């Protein structure tokens, strides 16, 4: 069975360049419903302000969590990564919006012409606060050494809330690991040092989307797709919608005899307990 996460928006893609990008709450909710209907069980969320610029405004984040919870059964995973310019304090405050999940990036990485900063003490703080608040982390891995850091984190600071470890390999970022089957295989080998039962999903940025998707399915991994990671469906063909990417991922998963799982099954897999 395959867990499919959709990452519909991100912090980098420009709405004016990609009109299909969901940036308002209405667009996000519509996208979420469409993606759930074609096989997504988790939504990784970045939000935008009224000018379609990335924001970590807490009021908006709370409204987003609540709207997605009311309109869909999806697991809402807020990004604590934000944009490369976001301060640590705002990234930590994301947790106050009380999502079921949040991302937790396992190290600093060059990010195109920028740097995505993730100091060790900040990572420990995110991990600890998530556990205190009953939020399940998805550990974001941009490079092989981030898996070693995850081992160090779990050894020194214990398992996350729910006890299950789930990582997401974000591959093909300029500055991070390559989006190739061999890089994915190296990660799978390194994951042997993580707790038994650790699960992983993978996503390939830009043109690495398909090789990473196929390699992840072949290696027993789960999938993340969405316009945060790719805005081209095929050469010269812009992505029409996030649901188009989820539907393709679901079709590949069915072909691999590992059909998409429901949000309820995903909650069980990830150790997410019901919130009151």
Q: Where does this chain bind ligand KMH (CB under 6 A)?
A: 10-12, 79-81, 83-84, 103, 105, 111, 116, 140
Q: Build a one-symbol-per-residue string for 36-75: x at contacts with Zn ion by CB under 5 A, - elsewhere.
A: ----------------------------------------
Residue number, 41 or 79, with CB nearest to ligand KMH: 79
Number of shown-chain residues binding Zn ion (CB under 5 A)? 1
Q: Build a one-symbol-per-residue string for 70-89: x at contacts with Zn ion by CB under 5 A, - elsewhere.
A: ---------x----------
- Residue 83 binds which entry of Zn ion, ligand KMH, none, with Cβ cut-offs from 5 to 8 Å by kind? ligand KMH
SS3 track for the chain: CECEEECCCCCCCCCCCCCCCCCCHHHHHHHHHHHHHCCCCEEEECEECCCCCEECCHHHHHHHHHHHHHHCCCEEEECCCCCCCCCHHHHHHHHHHCCCEEEEECCCEEECCEEECCCHHHHHHHHHHHHHCCCEEEEEECCHHHHHHHHHHHHHHCCCCCCCCEEEEEECCECECCCCHHHHHHHHHHHHHCCCCCEEEEEECHHHHHHHHHHHHHCCCEEEECCCCCCEEECCEECCCHHHHHHHHHHHHHHCCCCECCHHHHHHHHCCCCCC
What residue number has its CB nearest to ligand KMH?
Answer: 81
Report CA dihedral (123, 14, 263, 107) to the nearest 10 degrees: -20
Find, among 52, 20, 67, 53, the residue nearest to 233 by Cα.
20
Residue number, 111 or 252, with CB nearest to ligand KMH: 111
Q: How far is the CB of 54 from ligand KMH (least distance, A)?
A: 8
- Residue 2 binds which entry of Zn ion, ligand KMH, none, with Cβ cut-offs from 5 to 8 Å by kind? none
Contact indicator for 78, 65 with CB cutoff of 8 Å:
yes
Q: How far is the CB of 191 from ligand KMH (least distance, A)?
A: 19
What residue number has its CB nearest to Zn ion?
Answer: 79
Residue number, 226 or 252, with CB nearest to ligand KMH: 226
- Residue 266 binds which entry of ligand KMH, Zn ion, none, with Cβ cut-offs from 5 to 8 Å by kind? none
Residue number, 73 or 175, with CB nearest to ligand KMH: 175
Residue number, 79 or 199, with CB nearest to Zn ion: 79
Contact indicator for 7, 205 with CB cutoff of 8 Å:
no
Q: How far is the CB of 92 from Zn ion (least distance, A)?
A: 16
Asked if 201 interacts with Zn ion (CB under 5 A), we say no
Q: How far is the CB of 105 from ligand KMH (least distance, A)?
A: 5
- Residue 140 binds which entry of Zn ion, ligand KMH, none, with Cβ cut-offs from 5 to 8 Å by kind? ligand KMH
How large is the angle between the packed helices 144-157 and 120-132, nearest 10 degrees?
50
Q: How far is the CB of 138 from Zn ion (least distance, A)?
A: 10
By CB under 5 A, name the binding residues for Zn ion: 79
């Amino acid at each position: 069975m395959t867990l499919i996460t959709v990452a519909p928006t991100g912090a980098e893609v420009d709405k004016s360049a990609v009109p299909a990008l969901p940036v308002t709450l209405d667009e996000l909710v519509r996208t979420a419903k469409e993606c759930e209907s074609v096989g997504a069980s988790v939504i990784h969320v970045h939000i935008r302000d009224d000018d379609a610029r990335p924001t970590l405004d807490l009021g908006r984040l709370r409204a987003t969590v609540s709207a997605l919870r009311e309109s869909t059964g999806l697991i809402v995973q807020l990004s604590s990564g934000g944009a490369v310019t976001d301060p640590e304090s705002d990234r930590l405050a994301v947790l106050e919006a009380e999502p079921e999940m949040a991302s937790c990036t396992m190290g600093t990485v060059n990010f195109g012409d920028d740097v995505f900063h993730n100091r060790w003490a900040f990572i420990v703080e995110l991990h600890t606060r998530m556990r205190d608040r009953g939020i399940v982390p998805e550990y974001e891995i941009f490079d092989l050494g981030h898996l070693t850091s995850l081992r160090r984190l779990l050894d020194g600071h214990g398992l996350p809330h729910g006890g299950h470890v789930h990582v997401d390999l974000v591959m093909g970022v300029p500055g991070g690991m390559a989006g190739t089957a061999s890089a994915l295989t190296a990660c799978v080998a390194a994951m042997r040092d993580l707790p038994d039962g650790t699960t992983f999903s993978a996503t390939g940025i830009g043109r690495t989307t398909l090789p990473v998707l196929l390699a992840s399915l072949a290696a027993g991994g789960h999938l993340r797709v969405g316009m945060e990671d790719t805005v081209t469906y095929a050469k010269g063909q812009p992505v029409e919608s996030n649901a188009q990417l989820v539907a393709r991922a679901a079709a590949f998963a069915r072909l691999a005899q590992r059909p998409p799982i429901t949000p309820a099954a995903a909650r069980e897999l990830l150790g997410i307990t019901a919130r009151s």
